[in-house]
Chains A and B, each alone.
Chain A
Amino acid sequence: MEYLIKNGYVYDPLNNVKGEKMDVAIKDGKIVSSTELSKDAKVIDASGMVVMPGGIDIHSHIAGPKVSAGRIMRPEDHYKVYMRAILGVRRSGTGRTTPSTNLIGYKYARMGWTTVFEPATPPLETRHTHEELDDIPILDKGCFPLLDSNWFVLDYLQNKEYEKCAAFVGWIMDSVKGYAIKIVDPGVAEAWSLGMGVGLCLDDQIPNYNLTPREIIRGLCKVNRMLKLPHPIHVHCNRLGFPGNYTCTLDTMSAVSDFGLTQDSPVIHITHVQFTGYAGDSWATLASGGEEIAKYVNNHKHVSLDLGQIVFGDATTMTADAPFEFVLHHLAPGRWTSTDVEAEAAAGIVPFRYRKKNFVNTVQWCIGLEIALLVKDPWRIFPTTDHPNAGPFTRYPTVLSWLMSKKAREKMFEQVNKRGLRKTALPAIDREYDLYEIAIITRAAGAKTLGLKSKGHLGVGADADVAIYNLNPEKVDPSKDWEAFVKAFKRAAYTFKNGEMIVKDGEVLRHMYGETYYVKPKIPEDLLKTVTEDVKTKFKDWYSISFENYIIGDHELRAVKPIHVETALK
């Protein structure tokens, strides 16, 4: 199929295009030069419209055992939000904060997003994660295996055997088709197995091991650099949800600052920083630690952040930070799910509602925006809602409008808790993101941080994942008319995936599937052999399945896209 998208205002930060009127040509699933098109090319009149690469979400809980555990626990989340099946066009589904798989694919695509990564999966159950990812239509996807409480990793790190650890992590990525190293409140699953771990701090000792969370983070950061994986270690800081925890975030970032001296790209990605950006020493004295965090990030280029931005309304918190969920269960009495995965990880799920008039929720809402507006480098900031922890991904256009429009923020200030507002710097901030910066934080930066070279841009050779929005940047100023921006981004005029028109006027046209990305680090043969022999020996005693059955075959997934990685291992 050939398309010529004519006359749109193109935002392509990776190629330095800042809203120029340009044509974009698509042929055989790729962006091509318009001279390559035949006369049969379909013309899409994009005049008066914004054209961007398809959106890339680096952190959204869309697939895996804990996501389905959330669905099971919350039937009421599915009654009122549903989509009917249309034969030959789309499947049906339900769910607001825990949507079923078809809804996830359709609703992201309708907003012009085309690539999403599941940020936390326990290796033993990652086969399940891939089954769910496989049933999400349209999007390209991947997942990050949880490694911070993995018994093999902990042993290697305790013995300072970093090369072996790197080989093991590389083997995990290949065996369970993972993309990046995920760290959640490091060591927490081991502590939770003993009924402990509440408020585990960076320099506390992990039970049963001669290790601290700091050592785990540094160890895995070392390992990541040895493996040269495209994405930095993806870290959910310790003490999530505790007033005063912003210091932990600062300590976590500085814990690996020395590694940052020898590379240009970030060595650590702090996820949903809002949840670990609290100042104060109790819920009553809660304040924002956002300024300090933003200051650090401005002065240290080895860190990137995603927000975990609160959206008021219903949410479902789900995280590998099981002890925190135990705490939240007490703060928000009701249902609570907790699951342990042997030798590897844990998870907790608690439904939650963020209220505008609530002091704490207001401070939380301010923190994410504050950080995003104070951090100067848009290439290191990502506007997530840690879906569905801080809110559903379907609210992204609204989140973006808060970044783009001070007026939009002021409208919210009228509705939220006034005392909460005073505990943050947000009301005083004037900055407004422009469309170019929005294109960076929702597209270009995502591709860059994930090392997806053919995504996030519209240069020749890129994957033809394109979003066209009914928004005329010459006529509409999003900082004043943010509602027009939200309307346009909620329902894309067109979304193309691999060069196929999948969405038109905000409606899905057809049901199809994308590809699953995973990394295949090249581990030297004898090192790999030593490590796998070591693993095999202990596996039988530690796990409840056979070693051979742990490994996932490529043929088990619908469509895999392995990324071969040359490591620094000899």
Chain B
Amino acid sequence: MFTLITGRTLEQGRNLEIGKFTKDYLDRVAICEINPEDLKKLGVESGSNVKVKTAYGEVVVKAVSSTLTSPGVVFIPMGPWANTVVNPDSQGSGMPTLKGIPCEIKPTTEPIPQIYDLLKKISDKTFAAKISSSSQNPVSGKEATYTNVVCCFCGCICDDIEVTVKNGKVTSVKNACAIGMAKLLNYDKERAYKPMVRKNGKLVEASLDEALEVAAKILVEAKYPLIYGWSSTSNEAMRIGVYLAELTGGVVDNTSVCCHGPTILGTQQAGVVKATLGQMKNRADLIVYWGCNPVYAHPRHTLRYSAMAKGRYVKGRKERKVVVVDVRPTPTSKVADMFIQVKPGMDYELITALRMAVKEHTIEAPMVAGVPREKILELADMLRSAKFGVIFLGMGLTMTVGKGRNLEEAIKLVQDLNEWTKFVLLAMRGHYNVAGTNEVIVWLTGYPYAVDFMLGYPRHNPGITSSTDVLIRGDVDAALIVASDPASHFPRKAVEHLAKIPTIVIDPRWSPTASLADVFIPAAYVGIECEGTVYRMDGVPLRAKKLVEPPPGILSDEEILGKLVEKVEALKLGR
């Protein structure tokens, strides 16, 4: 019996930007990282296949020996393979259980399934569609270099990127991390350039107008559509998405539902104490990374904003202490001054113990959550004696047992620390505009995500109105997916229902979700082919730039949704 963790890796991030249907993606994501001792016990060679089985499913992946994991804990990168075996139950929180799942591992000679093999298991739909690797019409144009470009991949939205374009394409990128670079240099791969509509079971090319007509009809005829995605597009598009949900009496939700939704739930219980990243850069002398791995998931974070950053009052790494709390060693824990390994699923206990230690209550147990009491007291002391401390929080807290309650405790710990010293926390938001789209939803509806319009006004009840839950319970009878790939990143049970209902996909890219679509409309990339307002993980709002023209006939999400709304309004008013 092992404990399964799923999450980001640098290679998973890099390769999903190059293409999800590539062999490289499969090689980097259809894997299971296992500690060498465990491999020995299993009698499995690194590089051979294993079958990972949980109460929710089984999948064949490649076993990879890794010291970045501990005995008893195995790691599968987030993606279609991981989602075959994760726990879809959100336990009333809206967030499925994507970490800390008990699993069995056995050697196997079965082959690793391709993405299409996985999709075939959950749907009879015909998937393959012709995708081109470059636009039909080459564009000529002289070389130009843009500076201070806003990178649109992760919640760091680094805005010091330098991009050179020529003939309508990006030719070189400076300053970006490996993942940002992968996106900027590969965005035109795995792309479909024409709208498509499913006819007689197969996706065929259609005019934009026809695709919009079919899409509008699907939404208007649905009783309760799901309008999901959003975190990888602009605020301008999100506003229209909220309106569409209101018009159609459906649910609007963004990816925070399976990411930092629990942090929002914790905030609803306790509030939050945070700061913009410049504060951390300039002043933080104690940095704690809890349940997050920025070296993989936010590669320039430590350099620009946290551990390594050079600030006005704290000049660099030497003037800081760095602590990592995680269930296994990670590339980030390797650069820390102190690594605290917590037992999977027991962060809540550890945070409680820290709160007690900070308040000088007596901890009776000699060990809490796998951490010796002395270590807890030592950490509490470090926290209290910092001049400016920060805890960066990640999926290690949101996705494991406790979910929103873990965050509530972490927030309260930071609030407690403010009695002694200056302390803040910040959620490591994943997508480049998940924070922005949460803000748009909240200022327009009053609630930050999982908003239902069934009664004609906004209601919010994560666990009931949240995306994976409305899919798993079969409540929604149609879906509009914008700038997101839930077929790859939702638990399989949710994807099974998604495959059954009429689905519209608007995305710059061809994705596993697109291959399930009944209507597909290609869109322009925000930050490359069109402008858009996006918010960093700390809420700082930036304006992503347009660097090149989108391919002919391809509009921005904002424009496409604007046209879709017109058709939906017309149908609704005509009734």
A339 touches B443 (CB 8 A): no
> Which B residues are CB-close (under 8 A) to A102?
444
> Which A residues are CB-close (under 8 A) to B159?
545-546, 549
B235's nearest neighbour on chain A, judged by CB, is: A131
| Interface hit among A83-91, A223-231, A283-291 | A83-91
> Which A residues are CB-close (under 8 A) to B457?
82-85, 92-94
Neighbour of B273 across the interface among A193, A337, A541, A544, CB < 8 A: A337
A74's nearest neighbour on chain B, judged by CB, is: B268
Q: How far is the CA of A336 from the CA of B278 in the complex (A)?
A: 22
B422 touches A195 (CB 8 A): yes
B277 touches A127 (CB 8 A): no
Given A131-B541, A337-B267, A549-B159: A78 and B239 within 8 A (CB)? Answer: no
Residues B414-449 near A (CB distance < 8 A):
415, 418, 421-422, 424, 438-440, 442-448
CB distance from A528 to the nearest CB of B (A): 20
CB distance from B443 to the nearest CB of A (A): 5
A556's nearest neighbour on chain B, judged by CB, is: B543
Confirm or deny: B28 has a beta carbon within 8 angstroms of a beta carbon on chain A: no
B148 touches A335 (CB 8 A): no
Q: How far is the CA of A65 from the CA of B569 in the complex (A)?
A: 31
Given A94-B447, A131-B533: A340 and B276 within 8 A (CB)? Answer: yes
Confirm or deny: A342 has a beta carbon within 8 angstroms of a beta carbon on chain B: yes
CB distance from A555 to the nearest CB of B (A): 9
Residues 385-411 of A, flagged 1 when their CB comes within 8 A of B and 0 if not, give 000000000000000000000000000
B443 touches A132 (CB 8 A): yes
Q: How far is the CA of A545 from the CA of B150 in the complex (A)?
A: 10
> Which A residues are CB-close (under 8 A) to B539?
65, 125, 128, 339
A350's nearest neighbour on chain B, judged by CB, is: B271
Tally B residues with Cβ within 8 Å of A.
66
Given A338-B273, A545-B540: A195 and B442 within 8 A (CB)? Answer: no
Q: How far is the CA of A549 from the CA of B527 in the complex (A)?
A: 13
B446 touches A544 (CB 8 A): no
Neighbour of B275 across the interface among A69, A92, A339, A556, CB < 8 A: A339
B443 touches A68 (CB 8 A): yes
Neighbour of A73 across the interface among B243, B268, B573, CB < 8 A: B268
> Which A residues are CB-close (under 8 A) to B278?
342-343, 542-545
Name the residue among B235, B273, B310, B455 with the largest chain A CB count within 10 angstroms: B273
A88 touches B458 (CB 8 A): no
> Which A residues are CB-close (under 8 A) to B310?
541
> Which A residues are CB-close (under 8 A) to B456?
84-85, 92
Q: How far is the CA of A541 from the CA of B424 in the complex (A)?
A: 21
Tally A residues with Cβ within 8 Å of B.
65
B275 touches A335 (CB 8 A): no
| Interface hit among B198-206, B279-287, B359-367 | B279-287
Given A87-B247, A92-B453, A93-B446: A326 and B418 within 8 A (CB)? Answer: yes
B276 touches A91 (CB 8 A): no
B272 touches A73 (CB 8 A): yes
> Which A residues are CB-close (under 8 A) to B271?
73, 335-338, 349-350
Q: How far is the CA of A338 from the CA of B449 in the complex (A)?
A: 21
Neighbour of A195 across the interface among B147, B160, B418, CB < 8 A: B418
Residues B219-235 near A (CB distance < 8 A):
235
Residues A66-110 near B (CB distance < 8 A):
67-69, 71-75, 77-79, 82-85, 87-88, 91-95, 98-102
A129's nearest neighbour on chain B, judged by CB, is: B541
B275 touches A91 (CB 8 A): no
Confirm or deny: B528 has a beta carbon within 8 angstroms of a beta carbon on chain A: no
Q: How far is the CA of A246 from the CA of B271 in the complex (A)?
A: 31
B277 touches A544 (CB 8 A): yes
B543 touches A549 (CB 8 A): yes
Confirm or deny: B326 has a beta carbon within 8 angstroms of a beta carbon on chain A: no
A196's nearest neighbour on chain B, judged by CB, is: B422
Residues A131-156 near B (CB distance < 8 A):
131-132, 135
> Which B residues are CB-close (under 8 A) to A335?
269-271
CB distance from A330 to the nearest CB of B (A): 9
3 closest residue pairs by CB, A with B: A342-B278, A94-B446, A340-B275
Binding site for A on B (CB under 8 A): 147-148, 150, 159-160, 235, 239, 243, 246-247, 264, 267-279, 281-283, 304-305, 310-312, 387-388, 415, 418, 421-422, 424, 438-440, 442-448, 453, 455-460, 533, 535, 539-543, 569, 572-573
